[in-house]
């Protein structure tokens, strides 16, 4: 591991806005703020919004700056990425944003049912061959039910035509209420100050001429969710940035 990454990891241990919980720590001790994020961590009552796969944290920071009435939590496994957003929060004194370094597969263990108002899934790996790893699959939507309020909102922002069409079919098949739906966010005129916040990866895709898609829908707490047929969906003809390497998650001290 490079010295720069080690320096970032060391800095993050001292950031008040950052919590780091690898699976072993979570299983052994549980998560201290589960059910009490507002009372014990943010020290104020406000709707909680979670960004999954937050990368460098630009969206979480942008959301927090755009709406001081909500508390925002960015989640990612890549500590070297989260560092950038966390450092901005620390330097600018942003009090309604936090970062959680953890695996999304365990996300329901960090929140009580109903504790979260809204979820953003921003530019995830589309996982074209592995349905179970797709962050908008029924497997993950059922995990989100363990943290979202009833009829809470899930927002997908992606460059992937495959992931967009897959999620759209899944939402329609399960009769979920659609709040926003466009396969060309900036060309459609539907972009607003929130959806126009651009992450590092979004800027990369835009520079490559990729259109940005947005799909927002409500997720009820009850009801069986079923997967759509997707054999006829054309696969993306390009690849995303490589994702998580478990060896990059060194042991961390408890906060």
Among residues 108, 125, 159, 181, the one annotated as catalytic is: 125
Query: CB 67: neighbour CB atoms within 10 A?
Result: 16
Q: Is 14 designated active site?
A: no
> Is 96:16 a contact under the CB 8 Å cutoff?
no
In angstroms and rounded to an integer, the radius of gyration of the C-alpha atoms of the chain is: 18
Residue (of 202, 201, 8) closest to 99 by Cα position: 8
Q: What is the Cβ-side half-sphere exposure of residue 118, based on CA atoms within 13 angstroms?
A: 16
Taking CA atoms, 185 is separated from 119, 190, 227, in Å, by: 18, 6, 25
- Distance in angstroms (rounded) separating the CA atoms of residues 210 and 137: 23
Give the integer Cα–Cα distance in Å for 129 and 225.
Answer: 20
Instruction: Give helix 79-92 / helix 58-66 axis angle, nearest 10°.
Output: 30
CA-to-CA dists, residue 164 to 49, 79, 229, angstroms: 21, 27, 14
Classified as helix, coil or strand, 201 is helix
Q: Which of 92, 91, 50, 93 is nearest to 71 (CA)?
A: 50
Taking 3-state DSSP, the helix, strand and coil percentages for the chain, each rounded to the nearest 5, stand at 35, 20, 45
Q: Which residues are catalytic?
A: 125
């Amino acid at each position: 591991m490079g010295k720069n990454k080690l320096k970032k990891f060391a800095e993050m241990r001292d950031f008040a806005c950052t919590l780091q919980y690898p699976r072993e720590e979570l299983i052994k001790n549980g998560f201290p703020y589960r059910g009490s994020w507002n009372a014990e961590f943010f020290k104020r009552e406000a709707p909680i919004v979670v960004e999954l796969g937050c990368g460098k944290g630009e969206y979480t920071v942008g959301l927090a700056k755009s709406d001081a009435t909500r508390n925002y939590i960015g989640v990612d496994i890549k500590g070297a990425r989260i560092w950038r957003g966390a450092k901005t929060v620390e330097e600018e004194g942003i009090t309604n944003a936090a970062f959680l370094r953890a695996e999304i597969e365990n996300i329901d263990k960090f929140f009580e049912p109903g504790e979260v108002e809204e979820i953003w899934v921003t530019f995830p790996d589309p996982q074209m061959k592995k349905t179970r790893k797709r962050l908008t699959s029924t497997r993950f939507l059922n995990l989100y039910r363990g943290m979202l309020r009833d009829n809470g909102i899930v927002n997908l922002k992606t460059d992937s035509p495959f992931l967009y069409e897959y999620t759209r079919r899944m939402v329609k098949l399960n009769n979920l209420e659609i709040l926003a739906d466009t396969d060309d966010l900036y060309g459609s005129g539907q972009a607003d100050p929130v959806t126009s916040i651009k992450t590092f990866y979004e800027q990369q895709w835009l520079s490559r001429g990729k259109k940005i898609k947005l799909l927002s829908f409500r997720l009820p707490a009850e009801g069986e969710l079923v997967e759509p047929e997707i054999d006829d969906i054309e696969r993306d003809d390009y690849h995303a940035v490589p994702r998580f390497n478990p060896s990059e998650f060194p042991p961390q001290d408890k906060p």
